[in-house]
Amino acid sequence: MELLHSKILGEGTPLFILHGFLGMSDNWKTLGSQYADNGFQVHLIDQRNHGKSFHSPDFDYDLLASDVIAYMDHRQIESALILGHSMGGKTAMQIATSHPYRVTKLIVADIAPKFYPPHHQYIVDALAQLDFNKITSRKEADEVLSQHLKDFGIRQFLLKNLHWVEPKKMGFRFNFEVLKNRMEEIGDNIGATASYDGPALFIRGDRSEYILPNDYPEIKKHFPKAVIETVDNAGHWLHAENPKQFFEKTLHFMNS
């Protein structure tokens, strides 16, 4: 079985961090270093079809969870704190409900246990405009993307995924072909009866619509010990938009 790629920082209690859709472990390097400085062995993980991890035509949350369990087994880690953002939060929920004894504490960033209709299509459509037979630099790629995506922050987030596939030929690190065709799976929900009875923190951005107050009963149904916190002045990318408050709230929960 192929193993997920990771970057490991620090020593101490294992903490796994799972990025969101079209993200990668590198997005969490700064916060990961801060957790490492506070006594955690941080595993920044690239999920399948993302970052430097393997590409596969198969993609759903059962598989994403199994990948992490296989990684834990390989590293001989019995249990860990698991923090996941967005798609990574769905993976984290799947791990916690399917393998509860492997999760000491669960942190879910800005995603709820519910189905989300596909809503990244505009990003996928913009990425489809990049012709790597013509584009030879990140600057050129940004010029093309800027015609379709006005948000500078989202463009920079996406452009991090560009790399040299071969000399003078750029490409994506993520598996674009598979991911653009599996949008339904990205929004998928955990099972109707799935539950995790351990400590859980659901943390939302005050400007985000991914977790709304009417989602709280559903969170409590699946995660009865869940605490729900809000990060101020932050949307869906709350860990990037208000990293100080995100770090303080998550660290307090990990240490409590």
Residue 94: count other Cβ atoms within 10 Å of its Cβ.
26
* Torsion angle of the four alpha carbons 77, 35, 98, 229, in this order, in degrees rounded to the nearest 10: 160
CB 196 within 8 A of CB 93: yes
- Alpha-carbon distance of 247 to 236, in angstroms, equals 15
Residue 132: count other Cβ atoms within 10 Å of its Cβ.
13
The pair of three-digit structure tokens given for residue 34, joined into one six-digit string: 């801060």
Question: ∠ at Cα 6 (52, 162), nearest 5°?
Answer: 30
- Alpha-carbon distance of 86 to 91, in angstroms, equals 9
Active site residues: 86, 177, 236
- Alpha-carbon distance of 135 to 156, in angstroms, equals 16
Helix axes 152-159, 138-146, angle to 10 degrees: 140
